[in-house]
Chains A and B, each alone.
Chain A
Amino acid sequence: MEPLVRALVTWALEVCPAQSGAWLAARLEGTGSGQVADLFQLFSAAGRRLGSDSVGPAPAAVAQSALITAQWTREDLARVSGLVEWMESAEPQVRSATLEDLYFRGSGAEKRAVLLALPALGEPERWLSLAVEACRTNSLDVLRAIACDNVYPALHFPELHMNQMLLKVLFLGLNVEHVAGVAGRITPQLLIDLQQFRAEREAAGRGVPAGVDWLTNKAKENETV
């Protein structure tokens, strides 16, 4: 087992409520041995079994990984742990189908966990179409899971999709400063998009989100550097 996977599983069991410890241990044992039924059960039932308390500070092996866990809950952590553990042993040809199954047949919380896990799954090109599709939601929780505190978009999105995601973050009032790696993805085209967005808002007599100025200023800082 990869050190990150081991650390996630150990952490999930540590923060699990006592009454659900045996249940979670059994599911994670199943996902570790490639049992997809345990993965499906873990995803469906983690919310009511484990609750949405914050998980607190991450152990070192997780904190040093690509995962940003500051906003994670117990149910997030358990689902992500089971998913990355299952993926480790799964045949390559079933990985994409299973991930899409979990996403499209999942509740909002289940979709969120799939997106949180993406930076830890390896083979990032496999998950691009799903990650782009996730940005078409207007469910704030789902959008937040892919767009904020998640390194996947900045590392792997083509410019068109990155810019669309940033505009959506602004449009729906999320904090663009939480988009991981955004400073490195500011392009001339994004600045044109932001200008047009600003002009449209002003023409309609609506306020311009603060993130527009923040991104524009960040672009100037980049030029200075």
Chain B
Amino acid sequence: MKLFDPHIHMTSRTTDDYEAMYQAGIRAIVEPAFWLGEPRTHIGTFEDYFLSLIGWERFRASQFGIKHLCTMGLNPKEANNPRLAEGVMELLPRYLEKDGVVAVGEIGYDDVTATEEKYLIAQIELARAHALPVLIHTPHRNKKAGTERTLAVIKESALDPGLFIIDHNNEETIAGTLDAGCWAGHSIYPGTKMDEGRMVALIQKYGQEKIIVNSAADWGKSDPLKVPKTTAKMREMGLSEDVIKTVCWDNPWEFFAQSGRIDITSIEQDLPIDQTQLHADNSVLRGQSPMVQDGSGAPAQP
């Protein structure tokens, strides 16, 4: 079964991860713009990161047969940095128009400050102006209160709640998210956030409509195979293939297709792989034989 990981920070991951993800069935990903661990000190590094999301990282994913889409936004942590925030807001209108940008995100609350709220509201307005859906990050601390406050801001915006994914949900927040009419994202993480068994239990309780599963893998201890591992748990716990496909393939496509920037008819065709291609003086290979595969499902040719 083809799988979609709609929240993963591949900039932080290796080519081994891409290979393992492809082998496990992942054919599409969304990489939300986020912080990079070390706080940025210059607006230029933000812009180079945006360019890398639509350039080098998209190319790298394509070399392993994975369609790479991204979201752009001012993340909640760095929204609190006045030396950067306004500069990023000035960049966004241009970058939100670029090919392969399918949402504003990830935006929302981290410490739940007034500054974070100001930029959350401003970026919801950007989403309206650019006709894009929105990927919302919910805080790791004070999650329930932060999620409720996010939902109140969304309601106040009068934008269709179906244009929002509220991400990193858990047992305490999912009902409120779905009741508000938003999509509910869940990040399956080793040790924190949500695990595979708890995720399946949520689907058994709430159904599959507007439910989304991702790995949110980044540079920390995380696992880029959590979507396929969750599908294995779904089978083990008796969910049907239809339900699994809805949650791990159809739902994320349906959500991001609201951008009007995805050709739904093209997604069933696997991407061709051609590792003889290069990008800006770089190959993903380091002396290995390039793999070429035509996208028909035929075995890879070294």
Contacts and interface: CB of A to CB of B under 8 A. Distances in A.
Interface string A73-109: 0000000000000000000000000000000010111
A140 B99 contact: no
A48 interface: yes
B112 to A, nearest CB: 33
A48 B261 contact: yes
Nearest to A173: B276
A189 interface: no
Given A40-B94, A45-B97, A109-B99, A138 B261 contact: no
A129 to B, nearest CB: 18
B51 A105 contact: yes
A138 B47 contact: no
A108 B62 CA distance: 14
Q: Main SS of the interface on chain A?
A: helix
A117 to B, nearest CB: 19
Contacts of A139: 278-280
A201 interface: no
Q: Which residue, A44, A47, A173, has most C-beta atoms of chain B within 10 A?
A: A44
Given A48-B261, A105-B51, A108-B55, A138 B279 contact: yes
A178 interface: no
A70 interface: no
B180 to A, nearest CB: 30
Contacts, number: 40
A105 B49 CA distance: 11
Given A48-B99, A105-B94, A107-B98, A137 B281 contact: yes
Contact of A140 (B97, B261, B277): B277
B30 interface: no
B71 to A, nearest CB: 15
Given A40-B94, A44-B94, A107 B99 contact: yes
Interface string A131-143: 0000011111010
A138 B98 contact: no
A172 B99 contact: no
Contacts of B51: 105
A172 B279 CA distance: 11
Nearest to B281: A138
B211 interface: no
Contacts of A47: 99
A138 B94 CA distance: 25
B135 interface: no
Nearest to B260: A48
A10 interface: no
B225 to A, nearest CB: 29
Interface in A37-62: 40-41, 44-45, 47-48
A86 to B, nearest CB: 16
Contacts of B281: 136-138
A44 B97 CA distance: 5
Contact of B280 (A41, A109, A138): A138
Contacts of B104: none
11 contacts: A44-B94, A44-B97, A45-B98, A105-B47, A107-B98, A109-B99, A136-B281, A138-B279, A138-B282, A140-B278, A142-B280
Interface of A: 40-41, 44-45, 47-48, 105, 107-109, 136-140, 142, 172-173
The 6 residue pairs across chains A and B that have the minimum distance between CB atoms: A44-B97, A138-B278, A47-B99, A138-B281, A45-B97, A139-B279
